[in-house]
Amino acid sequence: MRADPLVKHVVTFGRVLREAGLEVGPGRLADALTGLDTVDLTSRDDVYWTLRTTLVSRMEEIEPFDRAFRAWFLRAPVAPPRRSEAPGEQAIKLVQKAAAERRVAREDEGAGEESDAAGWSFEEVLRRKDFASMTPEEFARARELIRRCAAARPQRRSRRLRPHPRGRDLDLRRLVRGSLGTGGDAIERAFRKRVEKPRKLVIICDVSGSMEAYTRALLLYVHAAVVGRGVEAFVFGTRLSHLTPELAARDPERAIAAATQHVVDWSGGTRIGASLKHFNDEWGRRALTRGAVVVVVSDGWERQDAALVGREMARLARQAFAVVWVNPLKGNPEYQPLAGGMRAALPFIDRFLAGHNLESLEELADVVAGIERRHAA
């Protein structure tokens, strides 16, 4: 790790980025410092691209990052180096236009089934469409895609060594046993390796009135994650409710109906701090969150004490292996984390993601599945 002055400089720059609306947590700052250890700090280009690669995750964050970089590091309105950008909104519009033209052509021709190309285009449009604006027919088609996203699980390396053909540790016991048939000559070497095992996953979902437009889609995700996978699920509005038994049913409609009956504060107020305190006091002491990946799904609108959210998130972050916060409002390009609860929680979050469409849930699946490798790096 670099000297303390650089660490303080980058941490303060992270605060500047948070004021500019970027979601920069401790995990990203650690990645940035690790990246700066491998580049020439006298090269402006190396520093710029290292920080941009580790601290920027969305296209709309590039412009505020550039402004903050110029103001903080260059102290002058000098434009940072640019690269060719990946196709963004224009490409999405072209896909939507092509899908619309294909649907009109199929209606005119009376086609019974969609072609593979048309289906692919429609699925691409569906992946980027906000859950709140989906029609019932689109939502029905999105259910299977939501189920696929929920299949991802965090992994951890097992403490025990298992036989493995590409292992690095020599298995002396198997080696000696195998040499008995060859007169003591160890002809075939046997190896062992630490294999990966599923890490505990805990999902805490906000079902208050402010989340109503996204609750059903997110609960379908939680249900698919819980069924047959040993995931623990909780929901909260004004109080915390444990929903793993209700969501264990195979039929999602039956499971969500049972969850609705069990939760008495559905679509009511929001008490994030009190709910997290209940979780930490009761379930945290049972070691449920020790070494687990905790996914909190909420818009961050705390109706009471925002400082309590910060204190309980600090407790949660100390126990958990990683904390991921999913906020559907982050899908809006103009979103800024101004809500008191959200601002209080940000310093204790490893990853801050949107959860407003299928594409964002796919990103969540990638983050959950690869979180062990990022921490190991």
- pLDDT tens series, the chain, 377 aa: 445 677 888 888 888 888 777 878 777 888 888 888 888 888 888 888 889 888 887 777 888 888 888 887 776 443 444 444 443 444 445 445 555 555 555 555 544 444 444 445 567 788 888 898 888 888 888 888 898 888 888 888 777 777 877 777 777 777 777 777 677 776 677 788 777 788 899 999 999 988 988 999 999 999 999 986 779 999 999 999 999 999 988 888 899 899 888 898 888 888 999 999 999 999 998 889 998 999 999 999 998 889 999 999 999 999 999 999 999 999 888 888 888 899 999 999 999 999 899 999 999 998 988 876 445 44
Indicate the residue type of 274. A
**Structure-token pair, residue 27:** 């995990």
Shared domain for 365 and 304, answered yes or no, is yes
**Residues in Cβ contact with 64 at an 8 Å cutoff, skipping those fewer than 6 apart:** 17, 20, 21, 22
pLDDT at 310: 95
pLDDT at 75: 63
Query: Is this structure's pTM higher than 0.85?
Result: no
297 located within any domain:
yes
Shared domain for 358 and 209, answered yes or no, is yes
Shared domain for 366 and 217, answered yes or no, is yes
- Backbone phi, psi, residue 211, to 5°: -105, 10
pLDDT at 86: 41
**Residues in Cβ contact with 182 at an 8 Å cutoff, skipping those fewer than 6 apart:** none
C-alpha span between 238 and 199 (Å, rounded): 29
pLDDT at 267: 82
Shared domain for 219 and 331, answered yes or no, is yes
pLDDT at 95: 43
152 located within any domain:
no
**Residues in Cβ contact with 78 at an 8 Å cutoff, skipping those fewer than 6 apart:** 70
Indicate the residue type of 182. T
- Backbone phi, psi, residue 181, to 5°: -85, -5
148 located within any domain:
no
Shared domain for 294 and 207, answered yes or no, is yes
**Structure-token pair, residue 333:** 């390009």
Shared domain for 190 and 287, answered yes or no, is no
Helix (H) or strand (E) holding 165: none
Domains in the chain, number = 4
**240-242 vs 232-236, strand pairing mode:** antiparallel
Q: Is 112 exposed, middle or buried (0-12, 13-18, 19+ CB in 10 A)?
A: exposed
Residue that has been written with the tokens 């604006």 in this structure = 133
**Structure-token pair, residue 217:** 């889609």
CB 320 within 8 A of CB 326: no
CA atoms within 13 A on the CB side of 31: 21
CATH number of the domain that 208 lies in? 3.40.50.410
Shared domain for 112 and 189, answered yes or no, is no
Shared domain for 250 and 351, answered yes or no, is yes
81 located within any domain:
no
pLDDT at 128: 87
Give the residue from 197, 220, 245 where a domain finishes. Answer: 197
231 located within any domain:
yes
Q: How big is the chain, counted in residues?
A: 377
Domain that holds residue 180: 157-197
pLDDT at 108: 53
337 located within any domain:
yes
133 located within any domain:
no
**Residues in Cβ contact with 51 at an 8 Å cutoff, skipping those fewer than 6 apart:** 10, 13, 32, 35, 36, 65, 69
Shared domain for 277 and 312, answered yes or no, is yes
Shared domain for 357 and 296, answered yes or no, is yes
Query: DSSP code of 356?
Result: S
Shared domain for 101 and 207, answered yes or no, is no
Give the residue from 74, 100, 118 where a domain finishes. Answer: 74
- Backbone phi, psi, residue 256, to 5°: -70, -35
**322-326 vs 293-297, strand pairing mode:** parallel
Query: DSSP code of 373?
Result: H
C-alpha span between 377 and 373 (Å, rounded): 6
364 located within any domain:
yes
pLDDT at 118: 44
Give the residue from 197, 212, 227 where a domain finishes. Answer: 197
Shared domain for 358 and 260, answered yes or no, is yes
